[in-house]
Amino acid sequence: MTFEQILFVLIASFTLTAAIMVVRTRRLIHAAFWLIAALLGVAILYALLQAAFLVVVQIVIYVGAIAVLFIFAIMLTQRHVREEALRPRWRISLAFLISLCLLGSLIVLVFALPHATRLPPPMPPGLDAARALGVALLSPSGYDNQAMSVNKGYVLPFEVASVLLLAALIGAVYAASSEHKGKST
């Protein structure tokens, strides 16, 4: 195994462990912190694939915005999970069985693909992929003189995503304020 493959296995196992802890922990706030760890692990996997822009997007949007939004929603709504509430044993067994079936299906699917174990080729040294992708996402025309590319431009979906995040934050604040008003009366 090469160093990159060993690093991939370590980061993937960390990400998988964090993702399992998201669903296994009993406290909602701890689940949000484990989610942040899993999302950071995915960002590191993107870095191993030399996808610089996706690393930045993963950290800024998912870790920086969505995970923090989850934490704010948890803190504002003050939902407490009872420590003494036990999950039914049959549901845990069923979820474990379904997870094993999905894992087996994914392993079969990956090894059925040709070139599944091959590493991606390195990026050409003169290509600034992060700049070209950023221009394609953010410029209204999608044209960049330096990148010499013409794309459609994706300003509208980018703005829709930001409005969606804003609406979710406003909804969390409204839910917290209406729940707080309901407790005081």
Query: And the tokens for 12?
Result: 């993937």
Torsion of CA 168, 172, 174, 175, to 10 degrees: 130
Q: Are residues 82 and 33 part of one domain?
A: yes
Choose the final residue of a domain: 36, 60, 87.
Answer: 87
Best mean pLDDT range from 3-17, 49-63, 88-102: 3-17
Looking at per-residue pLDDT, the higher value among 14 and 153 belongs to 14
Long-range CB pairs of 181-185, under 8 A, 24+ apart, other chains included:
none
pLDDT at 154 over 70: no
Q: How far apart are CA 89 and CA 7, in angstroms?
A: 36
Partnered with residue 144 across adjacent β-strands are 149
Mean pLDDT of 156-170: 74
* Percentage above 90 pLDDT, the chain: 18
Mean pLDDT of 97-107: 90
Residue 112 belongs to some domain of the structure: no
Mean pLDDT of 125-139: 70
Choose the final residue of a domain: 87, 109, 140.
Answer: 87
Q: Are residues 12 and 76 part of one domain?
A: yes
What does the H/E/C string look like for 63-123?
A: HHHHHHHHHHHHHHHCCCCCCCCCCCHHHHHHHHHHHHHHHHHHHHHHHHCCCCCCCCCCC
Residue 94 belongs to some domain of the structure: no
Q: Are residues 69 and 1 part of one domain?
A: yes
Q: How far apart are CA 65 and CA 69, in angstroms?
A: 6
Range of the domain at 134: 127-185
Q: Are residues 82 and 149 part of one domain?
A: no
CATH number at residue 44: 1.20.120.1200
Work out the pLDDT band at 85, boundaries 50, 70, 90: low
Q: How far apart are CA 77 and CA 64, in angstroms?
A: 20
pLDDT at 86 over 70: no
Residue 61 belongs to some domain of the structure: yes
Residue 120 belongs to some domain of the structure: no
* Tally of domains in the chain: 2
Residue 93 belongs to some domain of the structure: no
Choose the final residue of a domain: 87, 108, 137.
Answer: 87
